[in-house]
Amino acid sequence: MENLIIDRDGNSFYPGKRSSQAIGYLGGFLCCDVGSSIDSWREWINDQKSKDVGSNYSHLEKHDNSIFIAFEIDYFNETPDAPVFELSVTQMNYVLDRWKEALEKKPNKIIITKNDNGEIKVDFED
């Protein structure tokens, strides 16, 4: 199982404790790249013609129904064996739905888990 805690400081969220560097990239993507631009990211995620995109923090690639999130610098430096976080398009849409909800509710913590079956769950804690 992998897990990530995203903490809130005032009106901002930032990645906190993580069980792996790879799941930490999901936190960096949400906090540094997505922010409140959820609709534009959702548009890219659901556009079957778009295959890859780089942003401030992360680099995303789509292969079939999977999205791979890497650290942008690792991608451009072609770092061998760099960690990558994988989730499905459906899972990414779920994460973005919950991210939008978190921006509205402003919980103290966002807890993201990916179990051994690959299922992703996003919970809030006050």
At residue 100, the pLDDT reads 97
List the domain boundaries for the chain: 2-125
> 113-117: which pairs have CB atoms within 8 A and are 24 or more residues apart?
113/1, 113/2, 113/3, 113/4, 114/1, 114/2, 114/3, 114/23, 114/87, 115/1, 116/1
- The per-residue pLDDT for range 60-117, each reduced to its tens digit, is 999 989 999 998 777 766 778 889 999 999 999 999 999 999 999 999 999 999 999 9
**Distances from the Cα of 126 to the Cαs of 10, 51, 105, 110, in angstroms?**
13, 37, 10, 9
At residue 75, the pLDDT reads 72
At residue 77, the pLDDT reads 67
At residue 17, the pLDDT reads 96
- Residue 26 in this model has a pLDDT that exceeds 90: yes
Please indicate, yes or no, whether the overall pTM of this predicted structure exceeds 0.85.
Answer: yes
H/E element, 84:
none
